[in-house]
């Protein structure tokens, strides 16, 4: 686990988890939900969000559909695909393992996240 590898994909994982928890959302809705759930600790900027959405869609992990938003504007709504759900499960377990490893190194002792 190298330094950059351990943080790479964080935005992707947060997007996938948000869509699993909330169902279909447009880009702004995804960013707002991540901000809310993180108790305002995480802000996903457009420059990270929209490339991630395109990448996830190209990988077949999410699918997008044009709809009208709650504000009456045309927006692309994204949802998880079955492949995206499987990917999220695998990646969530890997992140839990990494958090456990880092916790042990930092001396958090018996903290074990599964």
Tell me the per-residue pLDDT of 37-91, one tens digit each, with 9 for 90 and over: 999 999 999 999 999 999 999 999 999 999 998 889 999 999 999 999 999 999 9
pTM given for the model? 0.84
- Residue 57: domain span: 3-81
Q: What is the pLDDT of residue 6?
A: 39
Predicted confidence band of residue 99 (pLDDT cuts 50, 70, 90): confident
- Whether 38 maps to a domain, the answer reads yes
Domain total of the chain: 1
68 Cβ contact list (under 8 Å, min separation 6) = 74, 75
96: in domain: no
Does residue 51 lie in a domain region? yes
The span from the CA of 95 to the CA of 91, in Å, is 6
CATH, residue 62: 1.10.10.10
Residue 102 covered by a domain: no
Residue 7, in any domain of the structure: yes
Is 59 inside any structural domain?
yes
What angle separates helix 46-58 from helix 27-37, to the nearest 10 degrees? 110
Q: Specify if 76 maps to a domain.
A: yes
């Amino acid at each position: 686990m190298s330094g950059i590898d351990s943080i790479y994909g964080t935005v992707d994982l947060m997007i996938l988890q948000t869509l699993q928890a909330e169902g279909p959302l447009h880009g702004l809705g995804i960013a707002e939900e991540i901000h809310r759930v993180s108790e305002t600790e995480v802000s996903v900027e457009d420059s990270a969000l929209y490339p991630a959405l395109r990448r996830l869609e190209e990988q077949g992990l999410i699918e997008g559909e044009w709809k009208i938003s709650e504000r009456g504007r045309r927006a692309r709504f994204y949802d998880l695909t079955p492949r995206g759900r499987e990917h999220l499960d695998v990646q969530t377990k890997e992140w839990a393992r990494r958090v456990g490893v880092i916790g042990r190194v930092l001396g958090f002792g018996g903290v074990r996240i599964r």
